[in-house]
Amino acid sequence: MALLEKGAQAPYFKGLNQNEELISSDDFKGKKLILYFYPKDNTPGCTAESCNLSDNYDYWLKQGYEVVGVSPDSVASHKKFADKYGFQFNLISDPEHEILEAYGAWGLKKLYGKEYMGVLRTTYVIDENGVVVELFSKVKTKDHTNQISTALDNK
């Protein structure tokens, strides 16, 4: 499935977070959301991206946003990752790639000439009506908060 476009209604999602709690898009009705998809817990780029969003979590809350990360990792992996870095936001486990596919964040990748299916690092900014207002398919992992806030400021 292709990436969602600006103006699209964000698909429904549900999954278990790092605390084995069921989290769904219904939990964010009437709220703004930064929904980011990343390949794997505790890898350099994913750690940089998640830590950048975590380090700026208070900023996002003050701007009226909640932050949610999604990857194929297990609940246990998410728990270790969140505990290690002190993440205060939800990390949803999507081992069957249902959420990833619904958001166009699962697809063909190439590495060293080999093709395989994997997570396409993507971030969506969703408004309080569940509409995609911004998306990032070229994520600056170490400076993602600035990347998102700059785009939102230029709207």
pLDDT digits (tens, 9 = 90+) for 45-99: 999 999 999 999 999 999 999 999 999 999 999 999 999 999 999 999 999 999 9
pLDDT digits (tens, 9 = 90+) for 13-34: 999 999 999 999 999 999 999 9
Closest CA to 90 of 148, 19, 38: 19
pLDDT digits (tens, 9 = 90+) for 105-126: 999 998 899 999 999 999 999 9
- The pTM score is 0.95
For residues 32 and 9, give the distance between their C-alpha atoms in angstroms, rounded to a whole number: 13
The residue behind tokens 């939800």 is 90
Closest CA to 129 of 21, 11, 9, 3: 9
Closest CA to 15 of 27, 5, 3, 4: 27
Task: Say if CB 34 and CB 116 are below 8 A apart.
Answer: no
Fold of 14-153: Glutaredoxin (3.40.30)
Q: Are strands 65-71 and 114-119 parallel, antiparallel or unpaired?
A: unpaired
Helices (H) and strands (E) in the chain, counts: 5, 9
For residues 19 and 6, give the distance between their C-alpha atoms in angstroms, rounded to a whole number: 31
What per-residue confidence (pLDDT) applies to 154? 74
Percent of the chain topping pLDDT 70: 99
pLDDT bin (cut points 50, 70, 90) of residue 11 is very high
Domain extents in the chain: 14-153
pLDDT bin (cut points 50, 70, 90) of residue 152 is confident
10, 34, 35, 46: which is the annotated catalytic residue? 46
Q: What are phi and psi of 79, to 5 degrees?
A: -60, -50
51 is catalytic: no
Task: Say if CB 82 and CB 18 are below 8 A apart.
Answer: yes
For residues 56 and 50, give the distance between their C-alpha atoms in angstroms, rounded to a whole number: 10
Which tokens hold the place of 56?
A: 């700026």
Does the pLDDT at position 136 exceed 80?
Answer: yes
The residue behind tokens 């969703």 is 126
